[in-house]
Amino acid sequence: MELFPSDAVFTPDVSWVALWPMVVMALGGLLLLTISSLGKGRIPRPFYALWAVLTSVGSFITAIPLWAQVHGWEDAVLWYDPEVDPTGPFSTVGGVIAADGFSVFLTMLIAVSMVAVVLVIEAYLDREQDRFPEMFALTMFAALGGMVMVSANDLIVLLLGLETLSVAAYVLAAMDLRRVQSQEAGFKYFVLGAFSSAFFLYGIAFIYGATGGTGLVHITDFLAANVLLGSSGLMLLLGLGLLIVGFAFKVALVPFHSWSPDVYDGTPSPLVTFMSSVVKVAAFAGMLRVLVMAFESAGADWRPVIQGLAVLSLVGGALGAIVQSNVKRLLAYSSISHAGFILLGVEAASDVGTAAVVIYLTAYSALVIGSFTVVTLVARSGDRLHTLTDYQGLGRTSPLVAGLFTFFLLAQAGVPFTAGFYAKFSAVIAAVDAGTAWLAAVAMLSAVIAAYLYLRLVVTMWFVDPAAETDTSHVGVPAAAGIALAGCAAAVLWIGIFPNTLTDWAERSVPAVVQPAPPNLVESGDEADADVEFEVGPDGMPGMPGPMPGEMDFGELDLESLGIDPAELEAMLEGGDLGFDVDVEFEDPPG
């Protein structure tokens, strides 16, 4: 017996305040494409850079009221949707987009990183005499994909965010039309990315089959209500394993890392800042939300896997970097080792761990954007000077650039009073807190090995005489790149010296399990003749989207426009054959 007619449409509840950061980013990218196709090269490229920066800033600004809202600072909310509970995390559009501290903070981080990335790209394009603004549009769409990933509360949405991000990143990697290495990097990235997406998808398919849904909240509820036994449990674990493999490819964890040095090497240097900051932030955020939030109760099953990956990445990244003679490849290995540290926070599967991941991602973004900006500048026109030889004597020829690079490298090594130290410290604390002190010990050991490679680079810059083939021309800092470098350096220092603010924010950035809001019924007419309120059991009810336990107030409905005969409804109510409790107050009682 169904209460609603078969053609009633339930539309999801939409809270725009949670969607604005993404909408701004998407519209900015689309408008940029439109303007550039209409302008046909008459508009100077700096205009597009400014546009991209303003879009990112706009995206950041629209996230501020959301940050206030998810923390329940009612007075601070500039505009809020009275439909949603203003005092805490919520989810919207049928529960597929989560708005909690975690998603909002990382959305803001992506927006800020985007500003720096766009500035570096602008400096690069200016040097290379490139007129085309598509690079900005593609990074903006990729950032949109990243923002979706950090807020995705549903595996399908997570997947599509990931694909938007990845497809844009493949193109960006292959974007230097002049160098075949760039296309090779793009193709390598593409093949392994598509391969990992396929594993990811296959994993989602199994999880869907085992739990009957793709919503993360649904999976959490399922795991809470069911003991993982039999083939259903096995299938869920198989799916989870495939999902972890997919994530491991995306964030380049040993042993799924082999693409990363090649791709970093071939990709245009300014875009590596993007690939190593925004892409990693989004992928780790997705991983954390899936593993720590949705699969929290299956922690005993996935934590050992993550611990193994962490050990391999920490050690493999540090050791792999030692033999490299190319600075970009060296930094690629160093980012593998950083990924190992971030896994320490994921593996902890606790609020402390989540905060450590957020702190690490923030510090890491500032560090890699700064480092690769220097790499972009030193590579000079043509983006080709990347070997250690090219860095010999840099301290003498260009002390400013060399000094900044030294600062970023030392911070990556974890020197105290820098962001790198504090981030590593938080990760280690999280691991110890979760009872895996041995992992913390491995991490600290690997940090010592990794320090060697950073110091080698520093020594090369300051204490080695330039070789005959070294380009000893002065490395200038264009204004755009200078702003990005100054911002990154300031962030690194600030996090290192005053870590309390970031810690406070990070501790607020915890993903929350929020049940979706009830959907709206489209055909609610004007002439309401009944006030309908349901109490729905755990199974939901027939004809309704989503299991939504709890009370649900449909408000006043026009029964006749819905095709419900009030008398029939009355009879159904009395017969008690609806399968759920319903409370209907008729304004004009039938009969």
Partner 1 sequence: MPEAVLLGGEQTTTAVEWVVFIIAATTTLLGSFGVIMARNPVHAALSLVGSLFSVAVLFLNQGAEFLAAVQVIVYTGAIVILILFVLMLLGIDTEEDLEDEPLRGQMPVAVGIGVLLTASVFALTQLVGFDVVTGTPEVTAAIRDDMPNINQIGRLLFTDFVVATQLAGVMLTVAVVGAVVMARRPREYQPIPEPESMDAPLSLDPTDQGADNGAEVAD
Partner 2 sequence: MLLNQFLLLGAVLFCIGVYGVLVRRNGVMVLMSIELILNAVNINLVAFGTHLQQATGQAFALFVIPIAAAEVAVGLAIVLMIYRNRRSIDVDSLDEMKG
Q: Which of 150, 294, 157, 158 is nearest to 218 (CA)?
A: 294
Q: Does 4 bind partner 1 (CB under 8 A)?
A: no
Please give the structure tokens belonging to residue 311.
């050990």
Helices 419-433 and 479-497: angle between axes, nearest 10 degrees? 40
Helix or strand holding residue 91 (H, E): strand 90-92
Q: Where are the beta strands (DSSP E) in 461-579?
A: 520-521, 530-536, 550-557
Cβ nearer to partner 1, comparing 177 with 400 = 177
What residue 299 binds from partner 1, partner 2, none (CB within 5 to 8 A, per partner kind)?
Answer: none
Q: Does 335 bind partner 2 (CB under 8 A)?
A: no
Task: Compute the residue count for the chain.
Answer: 591
Pattern 42-81, binding to partner 1, x per CB under 8 A?
----------------------------------------
List the interface residues with partner 2, window 211-270 (CB under 8 A): 212-214, 257-258, 261-262, 265
What is the rounded CA–CA span in Å between residue 394 and residue 409?
Answer: 14
Q: Which of 112, 116, 119, 142 binds partner 1 (CB under 8 A)?
A: 142
Pattern 85-124, binding to partner 1, x per CB under 8 A?
--------xx-xx---------------------------
What is the rounded CA–CA span in Å between residue 420 and residue 417?
Answer: 8
What is the rounded CA–CA span in Å between residue 216 and residue 293?
Answer: 8
User: Locate tokens 């729905």: which residue?
Assistant: 536
Stretch that binds partner 2, among 18-26, 57-65, 200-208, 278-286 (CB under 8 A): 200-208
Contact 275, 172 (CB under 8 A): yes
Query: 190 exposed, middle or buried (CB, 10 Å; 0-12, 13-18, 19+)?
Result: buried
Contact 243, 290 (CB under 8 A): yes
Cβ nearer to partner 2, comparing 320 with 414 = 320
Contact 78, 47 (CB under 8 A): no
Q: Does 497 bind partner 1 (CB under 8 A)?
A: no
Q: Does 210 bind partner 1 (CB under 8 A)?
A: yes
Q: Does 44 bind partner 2 (CB under 8 A)?
A: no
What residue 187 binds from partner 1, partner 2, none (CB within 5 to 8 A, per partner kind)?
Answer: partner 2
Strand pairing class (10-11; 520-521) = antiparallel
Measured in degrees and rounded to the nearest 5, phi and psi for residue 561 equal -70, -20
**Residue numbers at the binding site for partner 1 (CB under 8 A):** 6, 9-12, 26, 30, 33, 93-94, 96-97, 132, 134, 137-138, 141-142, 144-145, 148, 154, 156-157, 160-161, 163-164, 167-168, 170-171, 174-175, 177-181, 183, 209-213, 215, 218, 222, 225-226, 230-232, 234-235, 238, 326, 382, 384, 387, 519, 539-542, 544-547
**Residue numbers at the binding site for partner 2 (CB under 8 A):** 156, 159-160, 163, 167, 170-171, 174, 177, 180-181, 183-184, 186-188, 190-191, 194-195, 197-198, 201-202, 204-206, 208-209, 212-214, 257-258, 261-262, 265
